[in-house]
Amino acid sequence: MTIVMTIVKETAMKTIKASEFKAKCLKLMDEVAESGETLVITKNGKPVAELSPVKKPVKSLFGAHKGLIKVKGDIIAPIDVEWDADR
């Protein structure tokens, strides 16, 4: 039996009133880009928009997982199982 646990770190997002966001927009954009945290903009206490940093695109998917995956054993050698297609 294998038990898998996933731990999710929940963090409260920073919120700001729309009127305050309007006055400090450029400064807040710089802060979000630098910190990487999302900013929730509220109107009358209700969230209406999110300001998040742009994720940098991956140059190439080729090699993206290099060093993360390890091959154990010979993955090319045939196995000792007879297939229906071989009959």
Triad 58, 59, 61: Cα angle to 5°: 70
Q: Which amino acid is at 76?
A: I
> With contact defined as beta carbons under 8 Å apart, do 38 and 52 qualify?
yes
Which tokens belong to 65? 């997982």
Least confident of 12-16, 47-51, 57-61: 57-61
pLDDT of residue 22: 94
The pLDDT of residue 10 is above 60: no
| CA dist 68 → 54, 65, 77 (Å) | 25, 5, 23
Q: pLDDT at position 24, please?
A: 95
Q: Which amino acid is at 2?
A: T
What domains, with CATH codes, occur in the chain? 12-54 (3.40.1620.10)
Residue 2 or 14, more confident = 14
